[in-house]
Amino acid sequence: MKRIGIAGAAGRMGCALVRAVKARPELTLAAAWERPGHAAVGRDTGEWAGLEAAGVQILDRPDFTVCDVLIDFTAPEATVALAQAATGKCNLVIGTTGLNAAQVKVLQGAGERSGVVYASNFSLGVNLLAILAEKAAAALNANYDMEIIEAHHNQKKDAPSGTALTLYQALCRGRGLDPATSEKYRGHEVTGARPQSEVGLHAVRGGDIVGDHTILFAGPGERLEFKHQAHSRDVFAHGAAGAAAWLAGKAAGWYSMADVLGLNAQ
Ligand code: NAD
C-alpha cells in the first residue's frame, strides 16, 4: 500500500482528493491536514469529505513521517512552506496554481531531494491539449492569431488560470514566440490593431464553473477552436491520485503530468 498525505484536506480539491484516494485500492490515506484554525481541524477526514469515517483526523500541521507521497492543492505560500519542510523520504504531487517564478524555483529545489510532480492541470484531456496546441501553433502560419479564453468559478483566486498559462507556453513553443513578452490581456486599456507576435489571454469568472479552456486560431477565411471543459473537480483529483501512485518510490526529480501519462513518449 502506498501511503498518501493530503494538504488542504477540507478544501474543494482536498475533499475530492480524499474521495479519489479512497477509490484506488493501491493507495491508503495516512494523514491529512489544514491550516491552523480551520473548522475542520480535529474532524474525521472521510466524514468531512462526505464519506464514512476514515479514521484519519485532520491535523493542523503536516506529518511527513507517515507518508510516501503528499498531495498539495492549497495556496502558494502554503505550498512553498510545505516544499521547504518536506524531507527526501516523502515525494510530492503539487497542484496549487498562481505561484510566481521564485516560488516555482523553491519547488524545483525540493525536486533535488524528493520526487515532485507539479502540474497546473491533472486531467488527461488538458495534458493532451497542450501537446496538440503546440503542434497546431507550429503548423498554422503567423496569419493565424492565437487567443486563449478561460472560465472558472467566482471564488478562484488567480487569473489567468495556471492551465491557461501552460497552454500559453505551449503556443509560444510551437510558434517560436518569446513567452516573456508575448502575452496580452486585451480589454478597455489595450485596444487597436492586433500584432501577430502576441497571444491573447482572457479570464472569465462566474458561478460554479469548474474549468473551461478554449484556444482560438483565427486566420484568413477560417478559424479553428480547441475546447476543454472539466465537468467536475474529480477529474483533477483522480489525475493527482494517479500521479501519486506513479510517484511513490520514484527517485528525486522534477516530473510533469506528461511523464506520468506517458505522453512524452508519443
Ligand atoms: P480551496 O480554497 O477550496 O482549498 C484550499 C484549502 O487549502 C483550504 O481548505 C485552505 O484552508 C487550505 N490551506 C490553506 N493554507 C493551508 C496550510 N498552510 N496548510 C494546510 N492547508 C491550507 O481551493 P481549491 O479550489 O481546492 O483549489 C486549491 C488550489 O488548487 C488552487 O491553487 C487551485 O487553483 C488549484 N487547482 C489546481 C488544479 C490542477 O489540476 N492543478 C485543479 C483545481 C484547482
110: cell is: 525540493
Give yes or no: residues 101 and 128 share one domain: no
Place of cell 474549468: 211
At 215 the three-state DSSP class reads strand
CATH number at residue 197: 3.30.360.10
> What is the residue-level pLDDT of the chain in tens, covering all 266 positions?
999 999 999 999 999 999 999 999 999 999 999 999 999 999 999 999 999 999 999 999 998 999 999 999 999 999 999 999 987 789 999 999 999 999 999 999 999 999 999 999 999 999 999 999 999 999 999 999 999 999 999 999 999 999 999 999 999 999 999 999 988 887 788 888 999 999 999 999 999 999 999 999 999 999 999 999 999 999 999 999 999 999 999 999 999 999 999 988 65
Give yes or no: residues 151 and 104 share one domain: no
* Ligand 1 centroid – CA 74 distance (Å): 3
Nearest-atom index, ligand 1, CA of 210: 43
Share of the chain above pLDDT 70, in %: 99
CATH number at residue 19: 3.40.50.720
Please list the residues that pair with 215 across neighbouring strands. Answer: 148, 226
How confident is the model at residue 183, as a pLDDT? 84
How confident is the model at residue 265, as a pLDDT? 65
Give yes or no: residues 99 and 189 share one domain: no
Residue 95 CB less than 6 A away from ligand 1: yes
Average pLDDT, the chain: 95
Q: How many domains does the chain have?
A: 2
Q: Are strands 222-229 and 212-219 parallel, antiparallel or unpaired?
A: antiparallel
CA distances from 231 to 40, 100, 211, 216 (A): 26, 28, 8, 21
How confident is the model at residue 13, as a pLDDT? 97
Give yes or no: residues 188 and 242 share one domain: no
Q: What is the pLDDT of residues 62-76, one digit of tens each?
A: 989 999 999 999 999
Give yes or no: residues 7 and 99 share one domain: yes
Give yes or no: residues 9 and 111 share one domain: yes
Which domain does 95 fall in, by range? 2-118+233-265
Give yes or no: residues 178 and 81 share one domain: no
Give yes or no: residues 101 and 27 share one domain: yes
Give yes or no: residues 78 and 25 share one domain: yes
* Ligand 1 centroid – CA 33 distance (Å): 12
H or E, element range at 116: strand 115-118
Residue 79 CB less than 6 A away from ligand 1: no
> For ligand 1, atom 40, which residue shows the shortest CA distance?
121
Give yes or no: residues 114 and 6 share one domain: yes
Give yes or no: residues 72 and 131 share one domain: no
Give yes or no: residues 69 and 146 share one domain: no
Q: What is the pLDDT of residues 13-61, one digit of tens each?
A: 999 999 999 999 999 999 999 999 999 999 999 999 999 999 999 999 9
In this prediction the pTM is 0.93
